[in-house]
Amino acid sequence: MNLLLLEEADFIAADRVILRDRRLTHMQEVHRCVVGDSMRVGRIGGLMGSADVLRLEVSEAELRVTLDQPPPAKLPLTLVLALPRPKMLRRVFQTVAAMGVPRIVLVNSYRVEKSFWQTPFLEPEAIREQLILGLEQARDSVLPEVVIEKRFKPFVEDRLPAITEGTLGLVGHPGNYPPCPRGLDEPVTLAIGPEGGWIPYEIELLGKSGLNPVQLGDRILRVETAVTALLARLF
């Protein structure tokens, strides 16, 4: 935890918060805080800054906060991701939050196992928990938007064109395609497939909505690694 994130409910005054949950445990056990210590904090959806520990007891801590710094810029990106297997999904939420993706659309694909859609990790609270871990890691206070699209075709045909408009549309896909571009400033819509990749029909449909295949080389990467590698290459 490189940043302590504050919820609205933590505030008892404009500059005072009370913490009682895992953040208190973390302050005590990992940071070994004492009264008078200063910590980096951020208000979820708002500014970042510092907090002084005014009071620290077994069951709660009181902090005085100064919020005066903007969070780091997000990437100019919408990430369209075929739903990964549950264990990978949790890590991907952390990774995309840490890397500054502002919007992720989880979409079905032919090679997504149907059972993946039943995972409790898709519950809003479970998603938020992983996103928060990513923000705490990277020092960011703004949650990415997560959109869930269980049906591929209606999403790609009816809603994707509006997302892609005015952006560079790309699909990460192994094969004889142009290499993924580097160091872009422009907004991008990037689609990344499931384990085993998109099927040709899906590539064709994504293409009609303005997303064209690019590749990262012969190596087949796990979804989490592919996401990180593509984002690091693009921006």
Contact between 147 and its own copies (CB under 8 A)?
Answer: no
C-alpha to C-alpha distances, 155 to 148, 162, 212, 213, nearest whole angstrom: 10, 10, 17, 18
Query: Residue 123 — φ and ψ, nearest 5°?
Result: -65, 140
Report residue 167 as tokens.
């952006």
State the nearest-atom distance from the C-beta of 232 to its own copies, in Å: 4
Which one of the spans 10-18, 78-86, 134-142, 158-166 is the region binding its own copies (CB under 8 A)? 134-142
Count residues near its own copies (CB under 8 A). 27
Contact between 231 and its own copies (CB under 8 A)?
Answer: yes
Report residue 60 as tokens.
């709660």
Which one of the spans 12-20, 57-65, 133-141, 163-171 is the region binding its own copies (CB under 8 A)? 133-141
* CB nearer its own copies, residue 122 or residue 229: 229
State the nearest-atom distance from the C-beta of 16 to its own copies, in Å: 27
Write out the DSSP string of 13-37: ETTEEEE-SHHHHHHHHTS---TT-
Largest CA distance in the chain: 61
Binding to its own copies (CB under 8 A) within 208-227 occurs at 216-222, 225
With CB under 8 A as the contact rule, the residue among 139, 148, 149, 212 that binds its own copies is 139
Q: For residues 201 and 193, give the distance between their C-alpha atoms in angstroms, rounded to a whole number.
A: 13
* CB nearer its own copies, residue 38 or residue 225: 225
With CB under 8 A as the contact rule, the residue among 99, 104, 203, 211 that binds its own copies is 99
Give the strand order in the sheet containing 168-172. 145-149, 103-107, 77-82, 188-192, 168-172, 212-214
With CB under 8 A as the contact rule, the residue among 42, 84, 100, 193 that binds its own copies is 100
Binding to its own copies (CB under 8 A) within 156-195 occurs at 182-183
Which one of the spans 52-60, 76-84, 105-113, 135-143 is the region binding its own copies (CB under 8 A)? 135-143
Contact between 229 and its own copies (CB under 8 A)?
Answer: yes
Write out the DSSP string of 113-159: -GGGGG-GGGSHHHHHHHHHHHHHHHT---PPEEEEE--HHHIIIII
The rounded radius of gyration (Å) of the Cα atoms in the chain is 20
* CB nearer its own copies, residue 100 or residue 213: 100
Binding residues vs its own copies (CB under 8 A): 2, 72, 94-95, 98-100, 137-140, 182-183, 216-222, 225, 228-233
